Amino acid sequence: MSFSTSANAEPVAEIDVLVIGAGITGIYQLYRAREAGFSALLLEAGGGVGGTWYWNRYPGARFDSESYTYGYLFSKELFDEWEWREHFAGQPETERYLNHVVDRFELRHHMRFGTTVTSAEFDEATGTWNVVASDGTQHRARFLIAATGVLSVPYFPHVPGLAEFVGESYHTGLWPETPVDFTAKRVAVIGTGSSGVQIVPAVANQVASLTVYQRTPNWCTPLNNAPITPGEQAQLRADFEAIRDVLNTSVHGFLHQPHDGAAFDDSRAERRAFFEKMWNSPGFMKLTSNYTDLLFNEAANSEWCEFVAGKVRSIVEDPEMAEKLIPKDHRFGEKRPPFVTGYYETFNKPNVSIVDLQATPIVRVTERGIETTDGERDFDVIVWATGFDFGTGALLRMGIRGRDGLALADHWADGPTTFLGVQTTKFPNLFLPGGPHAAAGNNPRYNGDQVDFVTETLVYVRDHGYDVIEVTLEAEERWCEMIERNVALSSFTDKSYYFGTNIPGKPRRYLLNSGGRPKLFKEIARVHETDYKAFRLSQSASPVSPPRQAAAAGER
Ligand code: NA7
């Protein structure tokens, strides 16, 4: 890294690659950029490594992808030496793992924590990004890689009186490093998405009372977690190459084998037995290995829903409570299904109650608690498990400006436009792995594909003597049309936050990659076959540093 002086005499750190975010994607991107010979620095708003797995440290936070399918696959040594303790690791184990990775590959030295990016502006003359951070540091980067994650801006609903509550108040996605003591406290949890249904059973035994404020119940099914036995550990190590091959190529990025039959190929009794098997299967298998037509055949879906509803009724002793916990407004797969451990059982405890916000909506938060249309309840702790500004939240809050000072927030006023979820027009040298249009399955696998592609792209630019790369409008439009076209093939509807519909005023746009991994692979292959025709490559007018391996410089 070299240092020069800016107009206002602040030192400016110059760097090839500036990564924003020390989550699973950013860590891998930093590793790959350095391995490819770039000088690289990573800025992270949090006090430590982990991203999602740093901020979401609430009790009960846990993977619902199998641990060894979520972790990195780029190093057999790493895979061999890290022993996940559970098939679905809890947040503390994941945070330890990511810290281990950072230290093992000597990345910490290239990271700055507690550093929020406040502005990032593209300088046309030099083809670089000028980045200012909350600690007053300035950085000039050839390539800016925002690995800021999709679930990194917590959403607090606009409830009157939010700031008036004098007790403790937390959002699951902004959980403090100092553990929260729930002992003998009166606790409210608002929200019953994946986070809410994880924290409820995790704190129920400690609290004096637990009141769950539910607007919409979800189709929760058991996670079926278990410790990884020594025999399984040995098998995982022995199978590393095969596991990596499956995870690097499978449509969803899971190891799960798809089922080969449709629901009504089976008799009713066979379906019942198969659903029982699914109920007892680990995590996402209920989606990835269920009947092939489960998500799109209404009769099959409703039979599965009826099966799950029956399970809820058999677990929850109070029939009225059970009915409240059974979704009535959406089928399985319309929203991202949560996976639970002891969630329904929690409602059999005498100190746990539920407030149905559809019957009695929240009126305001008061000094002492929460007022709904049926009265006020007092609390010591309120937990907001109310979700996130998914996909674009962080990217639109960093003051990113591209060509001609164009703000990303204006460029994406109607929703994100990308090519491969990796670049957007008018923002040269900016890359967005793990952002909108990225995933449609096990996130680290998709985001890892993007990081690999970004890295080989940076190498291509460098090795061909260019220093500016920008996706063409044509390529971006092709990708966006593909996303729109394939939304019909997705089981998610706009009841899901994947459309941004949980945030008032946010444009309704599909924020995942609706074409899935095969489309990503296909387009990446096309980029290679056409020698990067999807991008405009050029050399800036006043390059800051000469290209390292000048070859075919010039505009194209
Ligand atoms: P989610 O899945 O977006 O869940 C948010 C929950 O908060 C959901 O139950 C919402 O009810 C509820 N919510 C949101 N706004 C309100 C208001 N105004 N009043 C009451 N309840 C409200 O977020 P999570 O953090 O649970 O999970 C996010 C992802 O993290 C998850 O999918 C995994 O990928 C990991 P609604 O359903 O909108 O009626």
Long-range pairs, 309-317, Cβ under 8 A, ≥24: 311/279, 311/344, 312/344, 315/344, 315/345, 315/348, 316/344, 316/347, 316/348, 317/348
pLDDT of residue 11: 60
* pTM of the predicted model as reported, rounded to 2 decimal places: 0.95
Q: Give nearest CA residue, ligand 1 atom 21.
A: 191
Q: How far is the CA of 197 from the centre of ligand 1 (A)?
A: 10
Question: Is residue 545 very low, low, confident or very high in pLDDT (cuts 50, 70, 90)?
Answer: low
What is the arithmetic mean of pLDDT over 114-123? Answer: 98
Give Dmax over CA atoms of the chain in angstroms.
77
For residue 283 and ligand 1, the question of a CB distance below 6 A is answered with no
pLDDT at 546 over 80: no
- Work out which ligand 1 atom sits closest to the CA atom of 362: 19
- Tokens describing residue 128: 């670089």
* Cα 95 from Cα 90, distance rounded (Å): 9
For residue 194 and ligand 1, the question of a CB distance below 6 A is answered with yes
* Cα 545 from Cα 518, distance rounded (Å): 38
With the most atoms of ligand 1 within 8 angstroms of its CB, the residue from 65, 195, 335, 373 to mutate is 195
For residue 497 and ligand 1, the question of a CB distance below 6 A is answered with yes
For residue 151 and ligand 1, the question of a CB distance below 6 A is answered with yes
pLDDT at 469 over 70: yes
List alpha helices for 343-442, DSSP H: 343-346, 408-411
Say if CB 97 and CB 68 are below 8 A apart.
no
* Cα 335 from Cα 495, distance rounded (Å): 7
With the most atoms of ligand 1 within 8 angstroms of its CB, the residue from 64, 198, 215, 501 to mutate is 215
- Work out which ligand 1 atom sits closest to the CA atom of 197: 26
> Got the DSSP string for 45-104?
SSSSS-THHHH--STT-B-SS-HHHHS--S-HHHHHH---SBSS-BHHHHHHHHHHHHHH
Question: Is residue 542 very low, low, confident or very high in pLDDT (cuts 50, 70, 90)?
Answer: confident
Question: Is residue 366 very low, low, confident or very high in pLDDT (cuts 50, 70, 90)?
Answer: very high
Q: How far is the CA of 196 from the centre of ligand 1 (A)?
A: 8
- Work out which ligand 1 atom sits closest to the CA atom of 195: 26
Q: Give nearest CA residue, ligand 1 atom 25.
A: 387
Please tell me what DSSP assigns to residue 488: G
For residue 357 and ligand 1, the question of a CB distance below 6 A is answered with yes
Q: Around 435, how many Cα atoms within 13 Å sit in the side-chain half-sphere?
A: 26
pLDDT digits (tens, 9 = 90+) for 234-257: 999 999 999 999 999 999 999 999
pLDDT digits (tens, 9 = 90+) for 131-189: 999 999 999 999 999 999 999 999 999 999 999 999 999 999 999 999 999 999 999 99
Q: Give nearest CA residue, ligand 1 atom 23.
A: 387
Measured CA distances, 236 to 87, 152, 166, 232, 514 (Å)? 11, 31, 50, 6, 31
* Cα 460 from Cα 252, distance rounded (Å): 28
- Work out which ligand 1 atom sits closest to the CA atom of 387: 23
Q: How far is the CA of 135 from the centre of ligand 1 (A)?
A: 32
Q: Give nearest CA residue, ligand 1 atom 27.
A: 194
- Tokens describing residue 477: 């439009």
- Work out which ligand 1 atom sits closest to the CA atom of 192: 9
Measured CA distances, 131 to 116, 213, 331 (Å)? 10, 41, 45
What is the arithmetic mean of pLDDT over 343-347? Answer: 98
pLDDT of residue 459: 98
- Work out which ligand 1 atom sits closest to the CA atom of 173: 25
Fold exhibited by the domain 2-47+113-152+390-538? FAD/NAD(P)-binding domain (3.50.50)
* Cα 378 from Cα 364, distance rounded (Å): 12
What is the arithmetic mean of pLDDT over 459-476? Answer: 98
For residue 195 and ligand 1, the question of a CB distance below 6 A is answered with yes
With the most atoms of ligand 1 within 8 angstroms of its CB, the residue from 155, 172, 194 to mutate is 194
Contacts of 495 (CB under 8 A, 6+ apart): 329, 330, 334, 335, 501
Question: Is residue 439 very low, low, confident or very high in pLDDT (cuts 50, 70, 90)?
Answer: confident
Task: Give the H/E segment covering residue 383.
Answer: strand 381-384
Please tell me what DSSP assigns to residue 134: T
What's the CA dihedral at 83, 439, 499, 364 to 10 degrees? 20
What does pLDDT average to over the chain?
95
> Got the DSSP string for 266-285?
S-HHHHHHHHHHHHTS-TTH
Phi and psi, residue 142, nearest 5° = -65, -50
Q: State what percent of residues in the chain have pLDDT above 70.
A: 96
What is the arithmetic mean of pLDDT over 450-475? Answer: 98
- Work out which ligand 1 atom sits closest to the CA atom of 194: 26
Picking from 11-15, 355-359, 454-458, which range would have the lowest pLDDT averaged per residue?
Answer: 11-15
Q: How far is the CA of 387 from the centre of ligand 1 (A)?
A: 4
Q: Which residues of 386-425 are buried (b: 16+ CB within 10 A; e: fewer)?
A: bbbbbbbbbbbbbebbbeeeeebeebbeebbbbbbbbbbb
pLDDT of residue 326: 98
Q: How far is the CA of 488 from the centre of ligand 1 (A)?
A: 23
pLDDT at 221 over 60: yes
Please tell me what DSSP assigns to residue 227: B
Q: Give nearest CA residue, ligand 1 atom 17.
A: 157
- Work out which ligand 1 atom sits closest to the CA atom of 196: 26
Q: Around 491, how many Cα atoms within 13 Å sit in the side-chain half-sphere?
A: 20
Question: Residue 369: which of 202, 187, 210 has the closest Cα?
Answer: 187
pLDDT digits (tens, 9 = 90+) for 7-50: 444 567 799 999 999 999 999 999 999 999 999 999 999 999 99
Q: How far is the CA of 445 from the centre of ligand 1 (A)?
A: 24
For residue 52 and ligand 1, the question of a CB distance below 6 A is answered with no
For residue 215 and ligand 1, the question of a CB distance below 6 A is answered with yes
Q: Give nearest CA residue, ligand 1 atom 29.
A: 194
For residue 174 and ligand 1, the question of a CB distance below 6 A is answered with no
pLDDT of residue 544: 64
Say if CB 430 and CB 122 are below 8 A apart.
yes
